[in-house]
Structure 1
Amino acid sequence: MAFLAGALAVLGQAPYDFFAACFVSFPILVWLIDGAVADRPAGLLRRLKPAFATGWWFGFGYFLAGLWWVGGALLVEADSFAWALPLAVVGIPLILAFFHGFAAALARLLWSDGIGRIAALAFAFGLSEWLRTFLFTGFPWNPLGFAAMPVPLLMQSVAIVGVVGMNVLAVFVFAMPALLADRRNLKLGAALAVMLVAAHAAYGYLRLAAPAAKPERTINVRIVQPNIDLSEKWDGRVRDRIFAGMLQQSAEAPKRGAPKPDLIIWPETSVPFLFTERPDALVAIGEMLSEGQMLMAGIVRDEGQSGGGEATRYYNSVVSINDKGEIVDAVDKVHLVPFGEYIPFAGLMERVGLTQLVAGPMNFVAGTDRRPFTLPGGIKASAFICYEIIFPALVAVDAASTQIMVNVTNDAWFGDTPGPYQHFRQSQVRAVENGLPVLRAANTGISGIVDPSGRVVDALAMNVRGTIDVSLPVAASGAASPPFSRVNGFLIMFLIAVAASGLKLRQRLRAN
């Protein structure tokens, strides 16, 4: 039952956005934890074991139903990697389920009758979801709070309380129907839920209805979606054709009378060779760009080739190239995907036969330095490669000193599954959190432009080849500074914890 309830909760995430499912799944979890007690008196760990098991099964259902598409990356070269399909499809949910098991056990420690147990569950899941952002390299995919933010109207609250606060408040509201069996607390719970939902929607409406600040300038941008077949991407026989196709897309006349782009953006690892091996490619880019234009492109960058025998290091990078064909700046990906871009504990893993689990030419080294790009007109932009955009703290640090966020990715690994839609939703929420537009270039979807309020200005569908031209308004300097503060989210989590603890203490005093 817990497994099915967890799987049902995934319907609240993109692309389904059926948040009503969470009003069923979380009350079921509450009732299951109500009965998750040890058969006989035992120590603390034994007493918490039934609650942990309940939460773990809930989490296993949630992550299995929400992340099954990860296995698609292993089928790009199925002959080499299909053996690892169970490790990805089942193994990742098995591990992530421990976070929800921890949350249920922690909630059980603070469990009390009535609304107190709802507060305990909200606090515990808020804490576990925060831990999921950084423990074991971090993987905050499909945070529970995203179910309460299916459309821009309902995303605006994240600018005040962050994802931490949204996780806490979402679980608190979604679990309230558990009080249907408790008439004594039903009225209070219903009043709190209605008040929070009304405030959530009203704030979103007021924020979206407020007149936008007049931008100081605009930048004309073209996003290129080449729709490259991953089975061909690193094939030496077709690399020139792939590269020529992207040059052709970049040089096309603007559509519908749009102005000529100042900035052109290519997706993650879009250049199918190393520039050190093909310097003629930089010459071709310089010839394609008009005077004053700039290209931001995802590439594989190499270092360390020398006569001294130093091993070559490869970086997943974004570079900016000017109209002379010169690389002006580069930023390397700092948060790599375990087993996809590098092997944790490589020596040990190789002994047991585990190597890179995603098709590609090499393992990457993590970058160490991040800095903003300077675009035409002196505009500052921060670049995030692939799933770096899902980490709120990483994005917030860089966005504080920039005016545009750029996300380059290659979601073609996962095909037309929920994965690319969930990834795009992360970009929308990051835009609202930081009050900055996001320019997103993907190999085959979803490429698009998101405004600072999370609204999609334009986008390209999955599995299509095309470009987007847009004139993007840019704030005078730095982020638009919405009232977002991580402190607010932790404050809400603390207050919920205090309320749960107080109600637990009151119950004990009454029992005594």
Structure 2
Amino acid sequence: MVNIAFAAFLVSAAFEPVGIWYLAVIGLALYLQKLRSSSRPMLHSLAFGFILNAIVLYWSGKYVGPIPWLLLSALQALFYLPVGWVYRRTHRLLWSALALLAMEEIRSRFPLGGFGWTRIAFSQVDSPALPIVALGGVIALSAFTLAIALLLVHLRGKNLAAILSLFVIAFLLPANPQGSGEVNLIAIQGNTPEVGLGFNSRAKAVFDLHRDVTRRVTADQYDAIIWPENAIDIDPRLFPEVQADIAALTGDLSTPIIAGVVQRAANGPQNASILFGEDGIRESVYIKRGLTPFGEYIPLRRLAELVSPLAKKVNDFIPGSKRVTHTVAGVELGPIICYEIILDDLVRDMAKNSQVLIVQTNSATFAGTAESAQQLAITRIRAVEHSRAILSVSTVGISAFIDNNGRVLSQTGENTQESLAGSLVLSNYRTLINRILS
């Protein structure tokens, strides 16, 4: 079991905040090697999956305690059981690797819409094989990484040559082509009065912080000002003073604001990305479609409340049903709200109908953990997968401008109040994976 724990530890170190991509290859090779010599491959697969996910997802328990974190890790570990079962039946590591890929795809979609945060590919943002995602999507990058691990398990002269050849091919893959034209944006990272689950109790204070930072922006210099998710946690339609502040900002700066807003619908709250025009009037509203289970709504509520009394404090949000993009200076900006970044179909749909993407996120719930760095890595991979430049803006950081080949052009620190200005190059290019799945 020590070997399995060590293998899981190595793979976890490929994810941020350590982020040494090749450790995933070594760790996966050790895991597969252990399967080959194991008399209990299902048990060892379960242990590998649990330890790996428990380390990478440690941030999920910071403010809710260890039980939800351990249950999440255990649920993720169940998807590794078929990998061991396949090896027990076939004694072929190739079939086990294929089973691991299949399980990644399944757990990215099931249950409750899936949770693919710890997919192998999301540890490979600095790998020379990153351009593969533009050809075959996230699954292709996971498959490449597993293929190298398999070759390492059977390391011989010809396999070493094959490994080198694969990396040479990956290195020679063309980058996504640059588009033409650009949109000038400024991200406002207003910070919060406090972090953790209680930051929302001071919603007006969060709005005031973002308003005050925006007041320092030079007038009429940007095509749009971007505020993060939850920057406005009180519906401006119900609070005239908030609506008046928004109208004053957009009017004085002659610049529209795209803000993350919690608005009230007849049947519950909605997590929205709203474009306020220069007159302060709503021009377009996107309602988050991919809600966060146990964060924005509680499945199996009675059971969840037994596991954690904090579940009683969660009001179920109402999901949106339509894709909506924001038009700024003639450019289509596709909003993605936080958790949606791990949902393949939703990100693809938004990228296909926009020229740049904006990711509005709120990391205050997990401030001081690896969550923000891991999300930034996932966002960079999405930029390459869809050849779209992305502005990711967070309440407390990390906020960043990312080009369509996944390079971070500029970024903020964490738990700071600052603004970040930059340009995103427009792209209408459709990557191979998007052409295949269109």
The verdict on a shared fold, with TM-score over 0.5 as the criterion, is yes
Deviations for 1:126-171, whole angstroms, at most 9, x for unmatched residues? 11111121011211112112333325x5421210121111111211
Q: Are 2:148 and 1:158 equivalent residues in the alignment?
A: no
Q: Are 2:52 and 1:103 equivalent residues in the alignment?
A: no
Q: C-alpha distance in 2, partners of 1:187/1:120?
A: 23
Matches within 5 A, 1:359-438: 362-375=315-328, 377-438=329-390
Deviations for 1:377-405, whole angstroms, at most 9, x for unmatched residues? 22111111111011222100121111111
Shift of 1:366: 1.7
Residue of structure 2 aligned with 1:139, choices 101, 112, 115: 115
Q: C-alpha distance in 2, partners of 1:472/1:259?
A: 17
Deviations for 1:327-367, whole angstroms, at most 9, x for unmatched residues? 122111111111111111335655x475654966x331222
Residue of structure 2 aligned with 1:481, choices 416, 427, 430: 430
Matches within 5 A, 1:245-284: 245-254=209-218, 260-284=221-245
Q: Which residue of 2 aligns with 1:508?
A: none
Q: C-alpha distance in 1, partners of 2:382/2:157?
A: 36
Q: Which runs of 5+ in 2 are unaligned?
A: none
Q: Is the alpha carbon distance of 1:313 and 1:198 closer, same or farther for their aligned partners in structure 2, counting shifts above 3 Å?
A: same
Amino acid at match of 2:168: A
Contact 1:133 1:140 in 2 (8 A): yes
Q: Which residue of 1 aligns with 2:286?
A: 331
Matched residue SS, 2:135: helix
Q: Is the alpha carbon distance of 1:235 and 1:86 closer, same or farther for their aligned partners in structure 2, counting shifts above 3 Å?
A: closer
> Could you tell me the TM-score, scaled by structure 2's length?
0.91
Q: Which residue of 2 aligns with 1:463?
A: 415
Q: Which runs of 5+ in 1 are unaligned?
A: 38-49, 75-84, 181-185, 305-311, 489-512
Q: Is the alpha carbon distance of 1:33 and 1:358 closer, same or farther for their aligned partners in structure 2, counting shifts above 3 Å?
A: farther
Q: C-alpha distance in 2, partners of 1:330/1:179?
A: 54
Q: Is the alpha carbon distance of 1:379 and 1:451 closer, same or farther for their aligned partners in structure 2, counting shifts above 3 Å?
A: same
Shift of 1:197: 1.5
Shift of 1:486: 8.6
Residue of structure 2 aligned with 1:294, choices 256, 260, 265: 256
Q: Is the alpha carbon distance of 1:487 and 1:61 closer, same or farther for their aligned partners in structure 2, counting shifts above 3 Å?
A: farther
Q: Are 2:99 and 1:124 equivalent residues in the alignment?
A: yes
Matched residue SS, 2:70: helix
Residue of structure 2 aligned with 1:66, choices 47, 56, 61: 56
Q: C-alpha distance in 2, partners of 1:459/1:27?
A: 34
Deviations for 1:418-469, whole angstroms, at most 9, x for unmatched residues? 2111101111011111111111110111111111111111110111110011
Residue of structure 2 aligned with 1:28, choices 30, 49, 56: 30
Residue of structure 2 aligned with 1:178, choices 115, 139, 153: 153
> Could you tell me the TM-score, scaled by structure 1's length?
0.79
Q: C-alpha distance in 2, partners of 1:69/1:486?
A: 36
Q: Are 2:183 and 1:219 equivalent residues in the alignment?
A: yes
Deviations for 1:237-269, whole angstroms, at most 9, x for unmatched residues? xx5544333222113244xxx971120111111
Q: Which residue of 1 aligns with 2:175?
A: 207
Q: C-alpha distance in 2, partners of 1:156/1:483?
A: 11
Amino acid at match of 1:64: A
Q: C-alpha distance in 2, partners of 1:302/1:398?
A: 24
Q: C-alpha distance in 2, partners of 1:345/1:273?
A: 28
Q: C-alpha distance in 1, partners of 2:201/2:24?
A: 45
Q: C-alpha distance in 2, partners of 1:417/1:358?
A: 24
Amino acid at match of 1:147: S
Q: Is the alpha carbon distance of 1:9 and 1:349 closer, same or farther for their aligned partners in structure 2, counting shifts above 3 Å?
A: closer
Q: C-alpha distance in 1, partners of 2:5/2:229?
A: 36
Q: C-alpha distance in 2, partners of 1:394/1:405?
A: 12
- Quote the RMSD (CA, aligned, Å): 2.4
Shift of 1:369: 1.8
User: What number of residue pairs does the alignment pair up?
Assistant: 431
Contact 1:222 1:250 in 2 (8 A): no
Contact 1:161 1:486 in 2 (8 A): no
Q: Are 2:31 and 1:14 equivalent residues in the alignment?
A: no
Q: Is the alpha carbon distance of 1:392 and 1:51 closer, same or farther for their aligned partners in structure 2, counting shifts above 3 Å?
A: same
Residue of structure 2 aligned with 1:87, choices 34, 55, 67: 67
Q: Is the alpha carbon distance of 1:442 and 1:385 closer, same or farther for their aligned partners in structure 2, counting shifts above 3 Å?
A: same
Matched residue SS, 2:260: strand
Shift of 1:30: 2.1
Matched residue SS, 2:425: strand
Q: C-alpha distance in 2, partners of 1:321/1:407?
A: 17
Q: C-alpha distance in 2, partners of 1:486/1:471?
A: 27
Q: C-alpha distance in 2, partners of 1:358/1:424?
A: 30
Q: C-alpha distance in 2, partners of 1:262/1:249?
A: 17
Q: C-alpha distance in 2, partners of 1:92/1:252?
A: 42
Q: C-alpha distance in 1, partners of 2:304/2:23?
A: 40
Contact 2:67 2:307 in 1 (8 A): no
Contact 1:224 1:250 in 2 (8 A): yes
Residue of structure 1 aligned with 2:168, choices 198, 202, 218: 198
